[in-house]
Amino acid sequence: MSKEIGLSLIYRDMWQSSGKYMPRVDQLVKVAEPIIDMGCFRRIETNGGGFEQINLLYGENPNKSVREWTQPFNDAGIQTHMLERGLNGIRMYPVPRDVRRLMFKLKKIQGTDIARSFDGLNDTRNLQLSIEYAKEGGMISQCCLCITHSELHTADYYIKMAGELIDMGAQEICIKDMAGIGRPVTVGRIVEGIKAIKSDIVVQYHGHSGPGFSVASSLEAARAGADFIDVAMEPLSYGTVLADLITVHEMLKDAGFSVPDINMKAYMQARSLTQEFIDEFLGYYINPKNRHMNALLIGPGLPGGMMGSLMADLENNLASLNKWMDKNNKPAVTQDELLVALFEEVQHVWPMMGYPPLVTPYSQYVKNAALINVMQMMKGKERWSLLDDNTWDMLLGKSGRLPGTVADELKALAKAQEREFFEGDPQDLQPDALGEFRAKMEENGWETGPDDEELFEYAMHPAQYEDYKSGKAKTAFEKDLAERKGTAEPKTTPAAVQASATTPAQPKTLNIDVNGEKFKVSVSYDANLQSSNGSNGSAPAVEIKKPVVSTNGSSAKSITAPLEGTVYMTKETGDSGLKVGDYVNVGDIVCYIEAMKVSNAVKSEIEGTVTEILVNDSDDVLDDDVLIRLS
């Protein structure tokens, strides 16, 4: 009798690896029925990862979403699973013990059956509490091996890690091939090794399709004894996502495995609804290049889940870099040139940074460091001249043990900046926090919710939850969506093509120098005004945004933005920022720029007294924009 292979639809990750947002809860509930009717899935990935933070970002209650979205699958007897990041819970930075513990209890109550837990550094210490708390809360504990390819990350390395997790009490093992760079034969050897340790343990393979290995890896995993294979479906399969259901289904059937038939009528309905969600608004947050597969990803090993943000970062940073190039009479750089330089730099710095597996959030840290290095070196500066605190925490051991050794030059830089390496348990750095957040909710008059679910959301995502409660998040999302819809590329009808040929480009901001004084200009367009050629919306209304504060220093020196992003004068709310009259020394932090999901401290390379501050909190700035003047 042929072995049965279970299929799991990674519906959450389909969206996470394509763009920024998930569907709304009403859309999720709508697509649940045809997914169930397809009849081929034993498991569905419903939530976890960025799911709940994304809900908050567009003003939706994530607890309501999880409960309503998982319910149809619970009723149908299909297991649901969530992705959680071990020490980081379901956010990008470490979570206190009491918040982690509440999460597993709550998610089971809300309808999630399996906790898929991973540690981005493959430090099994960070998964011990995930195993304990998941089982205590009534969930199945599935632990991940984060697959990457290096001289350290061999089949034996992963088999040893799986053995440690099984000894800790993990009930299932997931081969999490987040970048899809696991070589198929090696993936098969890992599965065989796990089954040799414990023959009846459930093994699930999760492989992204970017570089092209994952279909073959799925077959090798199945032949070696894997019990479940993760798949995606059109219109979001392949590219930076996972291999398509139909491809994997037919391949497994041809190989002699038993897989349930697909109800193609229900498949087409689910496919159509997913496309409907894309057309309604989600497509405005999906970069078309994420639909492409790219063998160049084999070298740097960057994961599918971050390629969407990577392409957006490249577009923004390329504009900033070329602004600097033009100003300094240097040739412009193309996006392809920057992309290749980035991939080469990732391969160069990854070993120097201790070979962290390239998975969230550490893939972001390595990519950010590489991209900033490339841009700084193109401008004649040294490698490592700008490293954010999150990346430093990883290098110093505050997030867990790195698989490799940090390079001597980074150790020397840490010493020069008086940074200390940490050898203890990273969880010990996070004191319990539920009491603090419960007190804040009482102070604000907010309910903690059934099973303390609202308390959990606040403690897990403090800033996003406050913006959700105030309505700021919903307003910001609706404004951003309206702007994206308003500036979207026109459909290629003859009229639209003709209009695009005659309508000039319309910038949103300009930087103007008036008698040596720099101004940031916001440009808006009145649709009721007519241009000389008769087209609408081409006459701009100009509003000059003056500096926040100004004094007339005759010999002003400038502190400029080292990269493109959003500027904040302080790191924490309530801190005091720089003000006119303050004295700044070389090396002093003068402000912060949030870019590529991390906060970068801006340090002064000059000294003097502050005479002008030319930016407001939350202003968007470009690379080399003047932020502060000194005398």
Q: Is pLDDT larger for residue 490 or for residue 32?
A: 32
What does the pLDDT read at residue 497? Answer: 32
Fold of 549-630: OB fold (Dihydrolipoamide Acetyltransferase, E2P) (2.40.50)
The mean pLDDT value for 176-187 works out to 94
Judge residue 271's burial from the number of C-beta atoms within 10 Å of its C-beta, 0-12 exposed, 13-18 middle, 19 or more buried.
Answer: buried
| pLDDT of 622 strictly over 60 | yes
**For residue 336, what pLDDT band results from cuts at 50, 70 and 90?**
confident
Tokens linked to 435 = 């009491």
Q: Is pLDDT larger for residue 541 or for residue 629?
A: 629
**For residue 10, what pLDDT band results from cuts at 50, 70 and 90?**
very high
Tell me the one-letter amino acid at 560. T
**For residue 355, what pLDDT band results from cuts at 50, 70 and 90?**
very high
The mean pLDDT value for 330-348 works out to 89
Count CB atoms within 10 A of the CB of residue 543.
Answer: 10
Give me the phi and psi of 240, to 5 degrees please: -85, 0
Rounded CA separation 488/611 (Å)? 41
The mean pLDDT value for 194-223 works out to 96
The mean pLDDT value for 224-253 works out to 96
| pLDDT of 545 strictly over 50 | no
The mean pLDDT value for 535-563 works out to 53
What does the pLDDT read at residue 541? Answer: 42
The mean pLDDT value for 476-490 works out to 81
- Cβ atoms of residues 353 and 369 within 8 Å: yes
Q: Residue 82 forms beta bridges with which residues?
A: 47, 115
**For residue 503, what pLDDT band results from cuts at 50, 70 and 90?**
very low
| pLDDT of 532 strictly over 70 | no
What does the pLDDT read at residue 1? Answer: 63
**For residue 68, what pLDDT band results from cuts at 50, 70 and 90?**
very high
What does the pLDDT read at residue 307? Answer: 61
Q: What is the DSSP letter of 145?
A: E
What does the pLDDT read at residue 629? Answer: 92
Q: How does the average pLDDT of the chain come out, rounded?
A: 86
**For residue 235, what pLDDT band results from cuts at 50, 70 and 90?**
very high
Helix (H, G, I), strand (E, B) or coil at 441: helix
Rounded CA separation 350/197 (Å)? 31
What does the pLDDT read at residue 526? Answer: 42
Q: Residue 174 forms beta bridges with which residues?
A: 144, 204
Which range has the top average pLDDT, 328-337, 465-474, 540-549? 465-474
What does the pLDDT read at residue 360? Answer: 78
pLDDT single digits (tens) 259-304: 999 999 999 999 999 999 999 999 999 888 778 887 877 877 777 5
Rounded CA separation 363/181 (Å)? 14
Q: In b/e form, how buried is each residue of 504-536, taking b as 16+ CB within 10 angstroms?
A: eeeeeeeeeeeeeeeebeeeebeeeeeeeeeee
Tokens linked to 172 = 């299932």
**310-314, 427-431, 455-459 — which is least confidently predicted?**
310-314
What does the pLDDT read at residue 311? Answer: 65
| pLDDT of 496 strictly over 60 | no
| pLDDT of 500 strictly over 50 | no
What does the pLDDT read at residue 530? Answer: 37
Share of the chain above pLDDT 70, in %: 86
| pLDDT of 209 strictly over 80 | yes
| pLDDT of 76 strictly over 50 | yes
Rounded CA separation 622/11 (Å)? 36
What does the pLDDT read at residue 506? Answer: 43
Strands (E), 367-516: 509-514
What does the pLDDT read at residue 305? Answer: 55
pLDDT single digits (tens) 102-158: 999 999 999 999 999 999 999 999 999 999 999 999 999 999 999 999 889 999 999
Rounded CA separation 39/303 (Å)? 30
What does the pLDDT read at residue 596? Answer: 66
The mean pLDDT value for 500-511 works out to 40
What does the pLDDT read at residue 434? Answer: 97
Distance between terminal CA atoms of the chain? 83
Tell me the H-state helices in 82-233. 97-110, 128-136, 155-168, 184-197, 214-224
> For residue 14, what is the enclosing H or E element?
helix 11-16
pLDDT single digits (tens) 86-98: 999 999 889 999 9
Q: DSSP of 334-378, one letter per residue?
A: -HHHHHHHHHHHHHHHHHHBT---S-TTHHHHHHHHHHHHHHHHH
The domain limits of the chain are 434-478, 494-545, 549-630
The mean pLDDT value for 418-431 works out to 94
Which range has the top average pLDDT, 236-240, 292-296, 502-506, 517-521? 236-240
Residue 172 CA, distance from chain mean position: 25
**For residue 502, what pLDDT band results from cuts at 50, 70 and 90?**
very low
What does the pLDDT read at residue 139? Answer: 98
pLDDT single digits (tens) 102-117: 999 999 999 999 999 9
What does the pLDDT read at residue 288? Answer: 82
- Cβ atoms of residues 126 and 119 within 8 Å: yes
Of 246, 131, 130, 144, nearest in space to 202 by CA: 144
Q: Is pLDDT larger for residue 564 or for residue 494?
A: 564
The mean pLDDT value for 342-352 works out to 92
Of 21, 102, 110, nearest in space to 59 by CA: 21
- Cβ atoms of residues 367 and 391 within 8 Å: no
| pLDDT of 394 strictly over 90 | yes
Tokens linked to 291 = 């639909």
Helix (H, G, I), strand (E, B) or coil at 479: helix
* Those residues with Cβ within 8 angstroms of residue 422's Cβ, 6 or more apart along the chain or in another chain: 396, 397, 398, 429
Which range has the top average pLDDT, 179-193, 357-371, 488-502? 179-193
Q: Is pLDDT larger for residue 136 or for residue 598?
A: 136
